[in-house]
Amino acid sequence: MRNNYNLIQISVKQTGELSYQLTDMLGSTGGKQVYYEYRESDDFAHIIEKFSDDFARLYKDFLLSGTLHDFCGIKLSYGEDAGVGLEEYESCISAGCL
């Protein structure tokens, strides 16, 4: 997804691993993390819905901030509330420092 000169690229593997690349005018950063480790009895619809909600919140913050550079430390995880990882950024956005 693009917003002005900023770019987010995220791929999700069936193993539950996220690969991401964040690019803006200040540079580029990327990495990998495990969002969820799948088990045979999982409710995949619920997992996908949670990821969709988490990513939508991250993307909304990205659009409001106008830059990706300060988002590189965020960790999204199925087992955690996305708000915990985004609170710092959202308070900075509200204060106008991003």
Q: Is 32 helix (H, G, I), strand (E, B) or coil?
A: strand
Residue with tokens 């960790």, as numbered in its chain? 75
Structural domain span for residue 32: 2-95
How much is the pTM?
A: 0.69
Residues 66-86: tens digit of each pLDDT:
666 666 677 778 888 888 778
> In angstroms, how far is the first alpha carbon of the chain from the final one?
19
**Token pair belonging to 53:** 């909600």
Alpha carbons 18 and 33: distance in angstroms, whole number? 5
Residue range 2-28, pLDDT digits in tens = 777 778 888 888 778 888 888 877 778
Total number of domains in the chain? 1
Q: What is the pLDDT of residue 71?
A: 67
Tell me, what's the pLDDT at 66? 64
Residue type, 1: M
